[in-house]
Amino acid sequence: MRLIGKEEVENIAIGASLLGTGGGGDPYIGKMMALQAIEEHGPIQLLDITELDDDDLVVPLAMMGAPTVMVEKIPSGEEALVSFRELEKVLGKEIKATMPIEAGGVNSLLPLALAARIGLPVVDGDGMGRAFPELQMVTFYLNDVSTTPMVLSDEKGNSMVLNTINGVWAEKIARSATMVLGGSVMNAIYPMTGKQAKDSAIYRTLTLEEKIGRTIKEAKKNKQNPIDAVLSLLGGYRLFTGKVVDIERKTDGGFVRGTATIDGLDNDKGNNCYLEFQNENLLAKTDTEVLCMTPDLITVLDTETALPITTEGLRYGARGTVIGIPSDEKWRTQKGIEVAGPRYFGYDYDFTPVEKLRERVRENDEISVGN
């Protein structure tokens, strides 16, 4: 266990936004909530997953809804507290630790704000290693951890307890309730034992997010290319560099859906990249080839600063570099691909890892040069 304070939270916010693949909510909101909680209550206990007792009750905290809604409907913090207290009543047991449900934007930081406020430790891990748009798209679900009972709470004081037969039904019912409650809610979800967390979570995500933020800052300080530094750290790939020339985005069914068109610059001049997203970036392609696909990570970084750009933050004229990062191996299993692969989202592609797609691009480039 170690204590984390304001500097660590600043770095975590950057890393969370990068791993969030464009989604997970505005990291600025979560960062400010966490910083305020630290100011008022002191540093946060960060607990390694291996330090959990097998019978500890661990409950992730998450914001559910369209990220664009949260820009105007900022949570007060009471919603999270209500969700946790109501879930403790339902389970008849005290929650021993919380953790992020995903490595993404606001959802990496909200558990930190709650933990500082009520004195809970935060587990250094999550259920995605990135962000995904639906509740069942977590490694807990892949490992048969029950999604419910879960509690949803809004800023008005409304809360509801949900029990469902599986995670897919939890997603459908909770999404409908979220729309009625104004488009975003806080939920306490996937209550699990310490043993279940050890068996199913992705380890040390918050530490990785902190390292990403620190790496970008240090690269700038040392006059190095921060994007290259991030790619080296994460084993990622530079996919495309250009300027956003069109963005189609709408809030539909509790999600932000859309496509961004990026006109190529530098080595990509003369080509276009198309980013398709549902809260998170799911597919990156050009007119002739696929560059990266879910469940691998697709993130847009500001070409000058290397800071991540969320899907709601994409604007005409923004200059961005699209990068691809291999997902955790849990997502590359048959079940992982069924739950969050391209065909689940309606794309007519079999999942191909980003490293293999990059090999094809290099081979095509070599053929073109040879001709």
| pLDDT grade for 68, boundaries at 50, 70 and 90 | low
State CA 293 to chain mean position distance: 15
**Alpha-carbon dihedral angle through residues 255, 261, 266, 271, given to the nearest 10 degrees:** 130
pLDDT score at 204:
97
Q: What is the pLDDT of residues 332-353, one digit of tens each?
A: 999 999 999 999 999 999 999 9
pLDDT of residue 98: 98
Instruction: Report helix, strand or coil for 186.
Output: strand
pLDDT confidence of 72, banded at 50, 70, 90?
A: confident
pLDDT digits (tens, 9 = 90+) for 193-230: 999 999 999 999 999 999 999 999 999 999 999 999 99
Whether the per-residue pLDDT at 312 is higher than 90: the answer is no
Where does the pLDDT of residue 370 fall: very low under 50, low under 70, confident under 90, or very high at 90 and above? low
| Closest to 313 (Cα-Cα) out of 37, 22, 8 | 22
β partners of residue 61: 100, 188
Q: What is the mean pLDDT of residues 290-312?
A: 95
Contact by Cβ (8 Å): 126, 202: yes
Q: Which fold is adopted by the domain 2-205?
A: CV3147-like fold (3.40.1610)
> How far apart (Å, rounded) are the C-alpha atoms in residues 248 and 258?
5
How many angstroms from the chain centroid is the CA of residue 328?
13
CB 137 within 8 A of CB 168: no
266 vs 25: CA distance, rounded Å:
31
Q: What percent of the chain has pLDDT over 90?
A: 84
The reply to whether 223-370 shares the fold of 2-205 is no
pLDDT for 106 equals 87
CA distances for 256 relative to 23, 137, 250, angstroms? 9, 17, 6
Domain ranges (residues) in the chain: 2-205, 223-370
Phi and psi at residue 294, to the nearest 5°: -60, 140
Q: Which residues of 20-29 are buried (b: 16+ CB within 10 A; e: fewer)?
A: bbbbbbbbbb
For residue 57, count other CB atoms closer than 10 A to its CB: 18
pLDDT at 111 exceeding the cut of 70: yes
**Among the residues of the chain, which ranges form H helices?**
6-19, 27-41, 67-70, 78-91, 105-118, 139-142, 167-180, 194-200, 205-221, 226-234, 334-340, 354-370
**Mean pLDDT over each residue of the chain, to the nearest integer:** 93
- Among 3.20.20.70, 3.40.50.620, 2.40.390.10, 3.60.15.10, name the CATH number for the domain at 223-370: 2.40.390.10
Beta strands 97-100 and 57-65 are: parallel
Give the pLDDT band of residue 292 (cuts 50, 70, 90): very high
